[in-house]
Structure 1
Amino acid sequence: MKVVLVTKHPRQEEREKHEQSVRAVRNSLESLGLDYGYIHRENLQSDLKNDVDWFVTVGGDGTVLETSHFAVEQPILGVNSNPTSSVGSLCVANSHDFKTVLQECLTGTLRATRVSRIQMNLNGKALKCLALNDLLVANANPAALTRCWLDTNQGEVLHKNSGLWISTACGSTAALVSSGGCVQSIEDRRIQWICREPFYAERKAPSGLHGFLEPGQILTIRSQMAEGRIYIDGSHRSEPFPEGAILRLTLSDSDLNLVMTPAMELRRQGLGRWRERNEIERRHESTAICRTGDAQK
């Protein structure tokens, strides 16, 4: 069995802990007699997947996300290299329990969970990578307005906002929920979207500010921006989205095999619910501040 160990270039303040975790994982792989390669995530290539049986990532969720773009059927086992500073919602192990978790995987005691991904078609061409967490459609300039036509199978509607989040169930506990979205269980096959900071002035709010895409349905987005961009699973991977470009999104037929435990999923959802409550409280607090300000005029 061939394992590829994927790691990252850590920030200066976490370098020592990260390197300790990498050494511990490598020692565990060697003690089990496993054949493995070692690569930084920036050097991952599409042809690598042909010679890999397993991916082991050492870092945080970002390293899992980056590696997922190169995984087809190969399972990914995420190791959180610094649990004190990294949430690691997609990481099933740390450097201390990695060997035990890997042995459970090899014996079949612990199996990978199939996690849905988003297929992207840009201007009639399918993009090679699949989104595991989310997409952000926005202006390349964060201070500029995002303008796009959104078609949710009920006709095109023009939207103006600071960006459009489109998320899988896996990514629903991340940026989407902080923008007012809903937490989904990992088994949920629907794609969720929400318009961030919508702008509609004196006119009626447009339809489709928030919704779900059922399996088999297509979400179509047409750019009305000179310099729009599509950010895929974070800031490292993006595509230009100029005026007139058309992006079609649907549930991919190719799920990701991610090693997870029930406790890990409960924690992921718990963190998401916490963010959900915080967002509701924040909005209530903002409303109260505005009303207090009006009363003091």
Structure 2
Amino acid sequence: MPTKTDEERVPNFGYAGFRLDAPDASVAWNLQRGRSGQNATGDALPHNPTAQTPRRGAPPPPLRVSNPKVLNYLDDRCRVHKETINLCKSVLQRKSIDWISVQRNDMSNPIHDVDLVISVGGDGTLLRASHFLNSSIPVLGVNSDPTCPDEVDELTDEFDARRSTGHLCAATAANFEQILDATLDGSRQPSELSRISVKLNGLQLPTYALNDILVSHPCPASVSRFSFRKRSNTGESSHLINCRSSGLRVATPAGSTAAMLSAGGFVMPISSHELQYMIREPISPRDADKPLLHGLVKQGQHILVVWYNEEGAVYFDGSHVMHSIQHGDTLEISSDAPILKVILPENLLKQGS
């Protein structure tokens, strides 16, 4: 267990989540502050040309928030997260389950020898845990602080009151014990979700994406230059497309409701084993290329990418996992990856049936 208590480790702002494994497993929790250059509401901070970059390990600067209602709101969010953490711990302590705790940022090795991973937080916590799981260990997501639509509407003119999405989370604090019992006794079975495999110059990258990957220049204002084609395992391929764009996004069915949908993609059945890809903001594409800028990668197919910028990056499930690429590198992107077993919420189970 961590040497400090939850009360000491979690300040009264930000977002916390944790992960429980059972038996012989671990609990992980995480705190995330606002991104650099933003205040607690997500608004951009004034530019200060004399400001210096904080030293690594230096304490963070104090928050600058003009609206005290924002701080009160964040304090409430932290309180709800901690209450959910304590509730989950209490439930586990009442059952014949062995578990230990591990901080999320300390996770660096694959998880083995556990029967179940329980992620408590939101989809981001579940995605992070998935990067350390093979196809044999199921994960149950608990949304620790679901968004309240009425509150979002009430506060929309003041700040963004949306909380955790929890699209893949089957449980909340209200039904955690019920879902856990159903999982442990076998009446609630995990679903098998596709993940994305990426080979760099023929070598398998160690991370498999549960939501999506983005191949792009590391600077969002720069043009991404690459070529790509779809190719089947039998050798058949589409014609080569040379792209200047904002990058290439590839999503799983689970990730098709996220950035892919926001960019104009479509929702895929959660049980599908195909991938959806889209060229982001293509610059002056040829008419012959347009039908191939957005489509599906079926089982037995992959996308072959050749990168032409001096630098580039492959982002897995957001910005937390990134692999650098350079001019001339090739990427092979497919669904030829270990599945992930996830206890899904009822609405997704109905969608997949």
- Same fold by TM (over 0.5)? yes
Aligned partner of residue 63 in structure 1, secondary structure: helix
- How many residue pairs get aligned? The number is 267
Give the aligned partner of residue 31 of structure 2: 9
Between the aligned partners of 1:253 and 1:96, the Cα distance in structure 2 is 34
Aligned residue among 327, 330, 338 for 1:254: 338
Q: Which runs of 5+ in 1 are unaligned?
A: 269-297
Q: Is the 8 A contact 1:138 1:228 kept in 2?
A: yes
Q: Could you list the per-position Cα deviations for residues 59-91 of structure 1 after superposition, in whole angstroms to 9, with x for gaps in the alignment?
A: 110111111011111110001111021111011
Give the aligned partner of residue 208 of structure 2: 130
Between the aligned partners of 1:57 and 1:205, the Cα distance in structure 2 is 45
Aligned residue among 316, 321, 339 for 1:232: 316
Between the aligned partners of 1:32 and 1:10, the Cα distance in structure 2 is 30
Q: Could you list the per-position Cα deviations for residues 110-158 of structure 1 after superposition, in whole angstroms to 9, with x for gaps in the alignment?
A: 0100001111111111011111100011111100111111111223211
Give the aligned partner of residue 103 of structure 1: 181
Q: CA deviation at 1:266?
A: 5.3
Q: Could you list the per-position Cα deviations for residues 185-207 of structure 1 after superposition, in whole angstroms to 9, with x for gaps in the alignment?
A: 11111111001111117x54625
Q: CA deviation at 1:267?
A: 8.1
Give the aligned partner of residue 121 of structure 2: 59
Q: Is the 8 A contact 2:168 2:345 kept in 1?
A: no
In angstroms, what is the RMSD of aligned CA positions?
A: 1.9
Superposition map of 1:272-287 within 5 A:
none
Aligned residue among 222, 241, 247 for 1:144: 222
Between the aligned partners of 2:112 and 2:26, the Cα distance in structure 1 is 12
Between the aligned partners of 2:351 and 2:301, the Cα distance in structure 1 is 30
Between the aligned partners of 1:114 and 1:167, the Cα distance in structure 2 is 16
- Write 1 or 2 for the structure with the bigger share of helix: 1
For residue 152 of structure 1, what is the amino acid of its counterpart?
A: K
The answer to which of 136-145 and 31-40 deviates more is 31-40
For residue 127 of structure 2, what is the amino acid of its counterpart?
A: L
Aligned residue among 13, 25, 36 for 2:99: 36
Q: Give the direction of change, closer, same or farther, for the CA distance of 1:42–1:249 in structure 2 (3 Å limit).
A: same
Q: CA deviation at 1:221?
A: 1.0
User: Does 2:103 match 1:24?
Assistant: no
Give the aligned partner of residue 194 of structure 2: 116
Give the aligned partner of residue 285 of structure 1: none
Q: Is the 8 A contact 1:80 1:95 kept in 2?
A: yes
Aligned partner of residue 112 in structure 2, secondary structure: helix
For residue 74 of structure 1, what is the amino acid of its counterpart?
A: I
Give the aligned partner of residue 273 of structure 1: none
Q: CA deviation at 1:8?
A: 1.7
Q: Is the 8 A contact 1:53 1:75 kept in 2?
A: yes
Give the aligned partner of residue 163 of structure 1: 247
Percent identical pairs in the alignment equals 32
Give the aligned partner of residue 93 of structure 1: 171
Between the aligned partners of 1:265 and 1:69, the Cα distance in structure 2 is 23
Q: Could you list the per-position Cα deviations for residues 34-74 of structure 1 after superposition, in whole angstroms to 9, with x for gaps in the alignment?
A: 10121222211224x12322111111101111110111111
Between the aligned partners of 2:180 and 2:32, the Cα distance in structure 1 is 24
Aligned partner of residue 27 in structure 1, secondary structure: helix
Q: CA deviation at 1:247?
A: 0.8
Q: Could you list the per-position Cα deviations for residues 239-287 of structure 1 after superposition, in whole angstroms to 9, with x for gaps in the alignment?
A: 112111111011134110000133244589xxxxxxxxxxxxxxxxxxx
